[in-house]
A and B are shown apart, each in its own frame.
Chain A
């Protein structure tokens, strides 16, 4: 059983399109995150949700809109995709906040914008 699962694993799309990446965790965690890994492998947090409530929004363009229908899901919708959005996006979850525990990561979604 995959603890944190993301779909799709690969996504190739044209500039200007709108796309979504889905994330689900079956760990019973109440905090979920989106991280972006750029071409140089730097991982940077984008968003954090706790019990469906936005906690962290790290100056991400408003073309990126996370949506948490329930605490087991945190989807990422991206409007008007740009070349610079090409990256690997990782979803993660933790029990409570990261101050006291570890984060569990999904396998990543490799987004390529052409």
Chain B
């Protein structure tokens, strides 16, 4: 069965620091990849997605992610975080052969200290 791993459960950093969150998935076929963010008390929102084309994807709020097929990875990055980036971040994968569902990683809680 496919799985999605997020390496860090908790990340604490200061404003203006750079952020990188790891995401690896276990399936070798064609995949669509997503990063969702959940701000405190709010619903999950899409940050960015990759379906095909340029493996470097730019999303909202200055986030980007790079799909590295050989490493089965889709890491999320932001060069300079703000206090408002405090949230839970979820990587998700849709495997085309597995049908109409998203498989999520366990989430990474990011706390940005002002």
Contacts and interface: CB of A to CB of B under 8 A. Distances in A.
Contacts of B103: 45
Q: Is the interface of B mostly helix, strand, loop or mixed?
A: strand
A55 B99 CA distance: 9
A98 B94 contact: yes
A48 B100 contact: yes
A41 B88 CA distance: 9
B100 A102 contact: no
Contacts of B107: 41-43
A50 interface: yes
Interface string A16-58: 0000000000000001010100001111110010100001101
Contacts, number: 58
Contact of B104 (A42, A56, A58): A42
A97 B100 contact: yes
B12 interface: no
Contacts of A104: 46
Interface residues of B, number: 25
A99 B34 CA distance: 11
Nearest to A102: B46
Interface in B1-56: 32, 34, 36, 41-46, 49, 51
A55 B104 contact: no
Contact of A98 (B45, B100, B104, B109): B100
A66 interface: no
Contacts of A103: 46, 102
Given A50-B100, A107-B43, 20 more contacts: A4-B43, A31-B100, A33-B101, A35-B104, A41-B88, A41-B109, A42-B104, A45-B101, A45-B102, A45-B103, A55-B99, A56-B100, A98-B32, A99-B94, A99-B96, A99-B100, A102-B34, A103-B102, A105-B36, A107-B42
Interface of B: 32, 34, 36, 41-46, 49, 51, 88, 90, 92, 94, 96, 99-104, 106-107, 109
Interface of A: 4, 31, 33, 35, 40-45, 48, 50, 55-56, 58, 90, 92, 97-100, 102-108
